[in-house]
Copies of this chain bind each other. A is one copy, B any other.
Amino acid sequence: MKIYDFAMAPNPRRLRIFVAEKGLKIPSEQVDLMTGRNRTPEFLAKNPAGGLPVLELDDGSYLAESVAICRYLEALYPEPNLMGRELREQAVIEMWQRRIELGLFGLVSRAFQNTNPLFAGRIAQFKDYGAAQLAAAHQQLQWLDGQLGDRPFIAADRFTIADITALVAIEFGMQVAGLKLDPALANLGRWYQAVSTRPSAKA
């Protein structure tokens, strides 16, 4: 297997952390999104949607979409478990993974795309919309803090893919979209301290 990766981008990082937590070593190749290498005919033959990460399988076929790749690896390498053991737990973890991805992760990504100078002149930016998305992301953090309460992790009594999505969304938001982790959000602060210092967070 081989992973097509881009160090700066959040979706590839989700997969890198997942792979690190599994203790797997999968060779990777960088595909520079900023210079449009993901829009070349050669790359579009691997993933016609143009996104990263992509997993190349040993039969020469390709699989795209971070969570689809993670679930595929989870089935091949079930432990340490990151997506649930029995059915009910799997469903709750998927529910939380989706809440974070469609909520916080999406908000931060759209704030980034619509406000970051990196995109100025490259795509149409709607700055007021981007600012509103950032404000909504801050509201999501507050909501998540309340949901977390004194639980150690987001979706189970152990680290799961929902924590990966949240960690990547928050750190990406802080790096490129002006997201701030309010110290008053004590539950989230405790969670962030725990997950951001795991060895896999270096991935």
Contact = CB atoms under 8 A, between A and B. Distances in A.
A76 to B, nearest CB: 8
A175 interface: no
A98 B65 contact: yes
Interface residues of A, number: 31
Copies, count: 2
Interface string A121-139: 0001010110010000000
Interface of A: 48-49, 63-65, 67-69, 71-72, 75-76, 87-88, 90-92, 94-95, 98-99, 103, 106, 114, 124, 126, 128-129, 132, 143, 147
23 contacts: A63-B91, A63-B92, A63-B95, A64-B95, A65-B94, A65-B98, A65-B99, A68-B91, A68-B94, A68-B95, A68-B98, A71-B91, A71-B94, A72-B87, A72-B88, A72-B91, A75-B87, A76-B87, A106-B106, A114-B129, A124-B132, A126-B126, A126-B128
